[in-house]
Amino acid sequence: MEQTQSPTSPSQEFNIQKATLRGTFWNYASYFSGKFLIFLSTLFLAQLLSQSDYGRASYAFAIISFIEIASDLGVGAALIYHREEPKATDTAFWMTLGIGAALSLIIWLAGPLAGALFNTPEAIVVTQVLGLQFFITALGDVHNTLLQKNLSFRLKFVPDLAQSVGKAVFTIVFALMGWGPWSLIWGQLVSFMVANVVLWLVTGWNPTFQFSPTIARSLLKYGGNFSLVNIAGIILLNVDYLFVGRFLGEVALGTYTFAFRIPELLIKQLCGVIGKVIFPIYTKVRDDTEALRRGFLDTMRYVTLVTVPLGLGLIIVARPFVLVLFTEKWADTIPVMQAISLYCLSISVAFNAGDIFKAQGRLAILTLLSVSKLMVLIPGLWWAVTAPLGGLQQNIVAVAIVQAGVAVIGDAINLYVVARVLKASLREVLQALTPSFAGGAIMSLAMLAALTTLASASLLIQLLVSVGVGGLTYLAAMWWLQRDLVRLGWKKARQLLGPPETKPLGS
């Protein structure tokens, strides 16, 4: 599988830059439009569903999230990493379908374990039904991978948007029908069915009955290690849900889950969207350390220009934001949302470090970093859910603070390690981060001044004015501090107007 690749030429690098920009644009367009619909649906669902409804459905989502990341045993990622080879796509499809069917069956049979884990029988059936998603998504996983591998993100926009629209619409319809927590479960499943139909239509690729054991072993060799890395990562991302659900109950879990929604929607999932673009890009230049170093620093620079002001802004306006949009009913989520905003901001700083290691096949480094972080996180969460802190709300907030603190320290270590691997100096890393954090600091001071001045005004006025002041201040700060960077970003964005590059999907 490993073959020598010549260093990237200037023309190749230019094409890669254009592909990255186009891919990010279309992925973000899909993300923004789709997640905006999810945001609107959240506003409706906040009125239709209770904390208990969210908590009951969250039992299933917490369990499924642990298994979801390894749902295809890394076959999709291996197909991207794998050099072009006949029969690889067909082999990957049948492997993925078999794995998905097996996982759905295992989860159905093991459903009672979910009830035992959360100490409630209500977790059993919701977990069993949501487990069907593994077989459903397996029908379209390889089609989705082909679009990603061939950088066909303009086409990928269509099924991604269809899934988001389907989830928003069907979840609301089911909630209006009085399905309670089941509206969240079935809304998820139906959205995957919709996405699969669209994926098959836009790719135009149909599997044939070809299967190569040799290729299968090659895919599993990389994919198995990839899955181990992702399993460690998904434990990091979801172990807090298990602690909250197991020790604090469904209402606490509903509150904690809801508080995650906005920071995750605006920051964390944005990083995931960009990660889907840069992983196949990095694999194309994985033997060129200099190209990887420039790509890593540029990605970090431009991503934090967006995520840092979003994270800091959410921390500052969390109170008026929650009370205006979600009412006093969700007031308990305010301090949790603030801590989770810091957590998501920290993740965004070094999120693409993992893609560097995956593209180079250095998966052992990722596993070691994740396990090290878990060794600190799990004792911290245990303390947060069991300590006598004065009430349930204080325990929930403590969980969020522990998660944020471990993320800040762990992501700083990740950033240091990847910088050493890419031979990037501390000065280069700081230069990449300075624009966003300097502008974010100025923006934060302006927003705090606005909120202090408007302390006696209505919450709606506080929210609108502080967000407006923050946005204008940040743009002005960027123009004052990094005018050349803003101009360069605009120049690169204009490359999106060029014609898309095409490549046969089934190759």
Can you state the percent helix, strand and coil of the chain, rounding each to 5?
A: 85, 0, 15
Cβ pair 333, 255 in contact under 8 A: yes
Which pLDDT belongs to residue 4? Answer: 34
Give the angle subtended at the CA of 278 by the CAs of 272 and 283, to the nearest 5°: 130
Residue 489 CB neighbours (<10 A): 15
- In this structure, is residue 12 part of a structural domain? no
Cβ pair 239, 381 in contact under 8 A: yes
Burial class of residue 257 (count of CB atoms within 10 Å of its CB; 0-12, 13-18, 19+): buried
Cβ pair 260, 340 in contact under 8 A: yes
Which pLDDT belongs to residue 69? Answer: 67
Which pLDDT tens digits describe the chain residue by residue (507 residues)? Answer: 333 333 444 444 435 556 666 776 777 677 677 767 877 887 788 788 877 887 788 788 878 876 776 677 778 888 887 766 768 889 999 999 999 999 999 999 988 888 887 888 888 888 899 999 999 999 999 999 888 887 787 888 889 889 988 998 999 999 988 888 899 999 999 999 999 999 999 998 899 888 888 888 888 877 777 777 777 777 777 788 888 888 888 788 888 888 888 888 778 877 777 777 777 778 777 777 888 888 888 888 888 888 999 999 999 999 999 999 888 888 888 999 999 999 999 988 888 888 888 887 787 888 888 888 889 999 999 999 898 887 888 889 999 999 999 999 998 998 899 888 888 888 888 888 988 999 999 999 999 999 999 999 999 999 999 999 999 999 899 888 777 766 766 665 555 444 444 444 544
Give the angle subtended at the CA of 272 by the CAs of 266 and 275, to the nearest 5°: 135
Q: Integer distance in angstroms from the first to the last C-alpha of the chain?
A: 16
Q: How far apart are CA 198 and CA 373, in angstroms?
A: 39
- In this structure, is residue 269 part of a structural domain? yes
Q: How far apart are CA 53 and CA 143, in angstroms?
A: 34
Cβ pair 157, 203 in contact under 8 A: no
State both tokens at 104.
Answer: 């759905």
What residues have CB less than 8 Å from 208, skipping those under 6 apart?
90
Give SS3 for 502: coil
- In this structure, is residue 83 part of a structural domain? yes
Exposure string over 164-186, b if 16+ CB within 10 A, otherwise e: bbbbbbbbbebbeeebbbbbbbb
Q: How far apart are CA 357 and CA 359, in angstroms?
A: 6
Crossing angle between the packed helical segments 51-68 and 181-203, to the nearest 10 degrees:
40
CA distances for 97 relative to 205, 229, 239, 309, angstroms: 16, 22, 28, 41
What residues have CB less than 8 Å from 245, skipping those under 6 apart?
55, 58, 59, 62, 118, 252, 253
- In this structure, is residue 452 part of a structural domain? yes
Q: How far apart are CA 230 and CA 221, in angstroms?
A: 15
Q: Residues 190-215: pLDDT tens digits?
A: 999 999 999 999 998 899 888 888 88
Q: How far apart are CA 365 and CA 419, in angstroms?
A: 13
* Cα–Cα nearest to 340, from 438, 237, 442, 245: 237
Model-level pTM?
0.69
- In this structure, is residue 507 part of a structural domain? no
Q: Residues 356-377: pLDDT tens digits?
A: 888 877 878 888 888 888 899 9
State both tokens at 419.
Answer: 């910088």
- In this structure, is residue 9 part of a structural domain? no
Which pLDDT belongs to residue 305? Answer: 87
* Cα–Cα nearest to 130, from 195, 191, 73: 191
- In this structure, is residue 142 part of a structural domain? yes
- State how many domains the chain has: 1
Say what the alpha-carbon torsion angle 249, 251, 256, 260 is, to the nearest 10 degrees.
Answer: 130
Query: 172 is in which domain, residue-wise?
Result: 17-497
Q: How far apart are CA 119 and CA 123, in angstroms?
A: 8
Q: Residues 456-466: pLDDT tens digits?
A: 999 999 999 99
Q: How far apart are CA 77 and CA 226, in angstroms?
A: 8
- In this structure, is residue 4 part of a structural domain? no
